[in-house]
Chain A
Amino acid sequence: MAMGALLELPRPDDRKAREERDDDELMLLARAGVRSAFDTLVRRHQGRVIETAKKQLGSVDMAKDAAQNAFVELYRYVPKYDPQGKLKPLLYRILLNQCRMAHRSRRRFFDARQRLAHEPEPPPELPDADLIARERRRQVERALLVLSPKLREVVVLRYTGELSHEEIARALDIPIGTVKSRLFEGVRKLRRPLERGDR
C-alpha cells in the first residue's frame, strides 16, 4: 500500500443554472458538497423566511437572528434530506421553533406590541399612497401579534410564507382540516381590529 493516492476534484456541474433548480435538487447538490447550491437555496427563501419571523416576533432584528439560526439548522439536515418536495415544511418548522425560542427568551423583557408602537415614523418624503400602504401593513402586523400563536402561525405560513395547506399541515404536524379551520378563524379575527382601524 503506497500512501498518498491522490484524487482530482471533478468539475462542478454547471449545465443547469442553480436558480433553475428546484429545492430538492439544490439540497442534493449541497449534500454532494456544492456550497453554492445551499447559497442559492438560502437566497431563494430568505426574504419570506425573515418576513415570516418578523410577523411572529414583531422585530426585524430578532427575525434576522431566527432566520439565520433556521438556515444553520437546515444545513444539518443536508446529509439526511429525503428529496420529496418537502423542503418548505421542514424549513418553516425549524423557523417556527426558532421563533418560539426567541419569543420565550424575549417575553420577560419586552412586549412586541410596545416595540411596534415605538417604531420610528416613516420618512416624510414617502408619497401618500406608499404612506397609506405602509400604515396598513403596520396595522396588519399589530393585528397579527394580537392573534393567538396557533392562529397566527397558520395565517403567516399561508400568506407570508406562501405554503399550501398541505405544507402547513406538515410543518405544524396537524391535520389539513385543522389548518383550514385555523386559517378561517385567524383571518376572521384579524379583520375585526382592521375594520375598526379603517373607520
Chain B
Amino acid sequence: MIRREPTDEELLAMLEGELTSSRAGTIDTHVHTCASCRARLDALQGTLDSIATIEPESASIDLVGAMWERIEQPALNPRRSFGAVALALAAATAALAIILPVSRSDFRPKSGAAHRSDRWTGIRIYRADEDGAHPVDRRIRSDDYLLFSYANLAERPARHLMIFGVDQSRAVHWYYPAHLDPGQDPTSIRIEAAPSRELREKIRHDLPPGDLTIHALFTEGPLYVSMVESAVAGGRLDDLTASGAHQKLHLEVAR
C-alpha cells in the first residue's frame, strides 16, 4: 500500500533507475492499480521516447563520403616548409628522367623471405641538379634539391602517402604534403596503384648536417601533419601505419 502518490521527480527517477529498489517496487505496484499515476507515467515515458526518436530525415543521412572529402581536402594555399621549390617545367623534366635509371635490383624485401617484386610499396629518392635526377645513395648535401618516386603495388594498394625527414634533433622536414603556413594542417597526398610514379616537385630544405631519416608512410586513410608530428614527438610513429607501410631511409647530410 502506498502512503503517498509518486511525484513527477520520482517517476522520472524510477525510469532513470535512480530509486531504491523498494521504492521503485512500491511505485511500480501502485501505477498498475492507479489510472491517474499510470497516465502520468505513460505521458512521461512518451515524452522521453519522443526525445529519443531518430527522425527518418536524420537516419537517412550518410556523412561518410562528404566527411572524407573534407578530411582529404587539400589546403587552399599549400605552403612549403622547404627553403625553395622549383616547379613546372624544370621539375617535370627532371622527374621524367628519374624513372629511367631505376633497376629492379633496387627493390629489397622487408625481410629475407621470398617476395614478389610486383607487390612492393616504397619510395625512391633522387638528387636533382642541372644534369637531371640521380638516385641518392647514403649521402646528400644540406642544400640538395630532392625528388621522389613511389611504387604502390601491394595486394591492397595504399591510397595515401606522406614523406618527411626527421633530423637528429627530432625536427620534422616535410616533403609531402609540402606546407609553409604553420596555421594549416594538410593531410597525406593521394596516390594511385602503380609500379612507379614520380612526384614532380623538387624540394630543398636547409638541412642541418648529420643523420637524417626519411620516412614514407603509406596508409589507407589520410593522416594529418599534426598527427605525425605528435607521433614523432611521442615515438609512436609505427602506430600510425600498423596496417600500412612505414619505410625508413637513413641518410647522412653533409655541408
A residues near B (Cβ < 8 Å) are 1-13, 29-36, 38-39, 42-43, 46-48, 50-51, 54-55, 60, 63-64, 67-68, 71-72, 75-76, 78-80, 133, 136-137, 139-140, 144, 155-156, 159-160, 162, 180, 183-184, 187-188, 190-191, 194-195, 198
**Chain A proximity mask over B137-169: 1 for CB below 8 Å, otherwise 0:** 110000000000001001111110000000000
Query: For residue A159, which residues in chain B have a CB less than 8 angstroms away from its CB?
Result: 48, 51-52
Known contacts A8-B119, A9-B156; 18 further A-B pairs (Cβ under 8 A) = A1-B250, A3-B125, A4-B108, A6-B109, A8-B154, A11-B155, A12-B156, A32-B239, A33-B220, A33-B243, A42-B63, A47-B59, A51-B55, A63-B58, A79-B228, A184-B12, A188-B9, A191-B43
Query: Do A51 and B58 touch (CB < 8 A)?
Result: yes
The complex places the Cα of A187 from the Cα of B8 at a distance, in Å, of 9
CB distance from A10 to the nearest CB of B (A): 6
The complex places the Cα of A195 from the Cα of B13 at a distance, in Å, of 19
Query: For residue A78, which residues in chain B have a CB less than 8 angstroms away from its CB?
Result: 227
Query: Do B158 and A188 touch (CB < 8 A)?
Result: no
Query: Do A8 and B115 touch (CB < 8 A)?
Result: yes
Closest to A12 in B: B243
Query: Do A7 and B9 touch (CB < 8 A)?
Result: no
The complex places the Cα of A10 from the Cα of B120 at a distance, in Å, of 11
The complex places the Cα of A4 from the Cα of B124 at a distance, in Å, of 5
5 A-B pairs with C-beta separation under 8 A: A50-B63, A54-B58, A60-B58, A79-B231, A79-B239
Closest to B106 in A: A4
Query: For residue A195, which residues in chain B have a CB less than 8 angstroms away from its CB?
Result: 43
Query: Do A183 and B63 touch (CB < 8 A)?
Result: no
Query: Do B244 and A137 touch (CB < 8 A)?
Result: no
The complex places the Cα of A2 from the Cα of B137 at a distance, in Å, of 6
Query: For residue B138, which residues in chain A have a CB less than 8 angstroms away from its CB?
Result: 1
CB distance from B86 to the nearest CB of A (A): 22
Query: Do A6 and B227 touch (CB < 8 A)?
Result: no
Closest to B65 in A: A39
Query: Do A60 and B244 touch (CB < 8 A)?
Result: no
Query: For residue B110, which residues in chain A have a CB less than 8 angstroms away from its CB?
Result: 5-8
Residue B136 at the chain A interface, CB threshold 8 Å: yes
Residue B46 at the chain A interface, CB threshold 8 Å: yes
Query: Do B47 and A194 touch (CB < 8 A)?
Result: yes
Residue B53 at the chain A interface, CB threshold 8 Å: yes
CB distance from A175 to the nearest CB of B (A): 15
The complex places the Cα of A182 from the Cα of B220 at a distance, in Å, of 43
CB contact list, B101-125 vs A, under 8 A: 102, 106-110, 115, 119-125
Query: For residue A139, which residues in chain B have a CB less than 8 angstroms away from its CB?
Result: 50
Query: For residue A34, which residues in chain B have a CB less than 8 angstroms away from its CB?
Result: 220-221, 243
Contact among B115, B121, B124, B224 for A9, CB-based, below 8 A: B121
Query: Do A9 and B109 touch (CB < 8 A)?
Result: no
Residue B226 at the chain A interface, CB threshold 8 Å: yes
Query: Do B240 and A33 touch (CB < 8 A)?
Result: yes
State whether A191 and B8 are in contact (beta carbons under 8 Å apart), knowing that A60-B58, A79-B230 are contacts in the complex: yes
The complex places the Cα of A42 from the Cα of B59 at a distance, in Å, of 12
CB distance from A69 to the nearest CB of B (A): 8
Query: For residue B236, which residues in chain A have a CB less than 8 angstroms away from its CB?
Result: 79
Query: Do B57 and A60 touch (CB < 8 A)?
Result: yes
Binds A, one of B20-28, B66-74, B87-95: B66-74
Query: Do A187 and B240 touch (CB < 8 A)?
Result: no
Query: Do A33 and B51 touch (CB < 8 A)?
Result: no
**Chain A proximity mask over B213-226: 1 for CB below 8 Å, otherwise 0:** 00000111101101
Contact among B66, B137, B231 for A3, CB-based, below 8 A: B137
Residue B64 at the chain A interface, CB threshold 8 Å: yes
State whether A33 and B244 are in contact (beta carbons under 8 Å apart), knowing that A68-B70, A75-B71 are contacts in the complex: yes
The complex places the Cα of A63 from the Cα of B48 at a distance, in Å, of 20
Query: Do B122 and A43 touch (CB < 8 A)?
Result: no
Query: For residue A60, which residues in chain B have a CB less than 8 angstroms away from its CB?
Result: 55, 57-58, 61
The complex places the Cα of A76 from the Cα of B121 at a distance, in Å, of 26
A-B pairs with lowest CB-CB distance, top 3: A6-B122, A32-B242, A35-B221
State whether A160 and B227 are in contact (beta carbons under 8 Å apart), knowing that A3-B136, A9-B218, A46-B63 are contacts in the complex: no
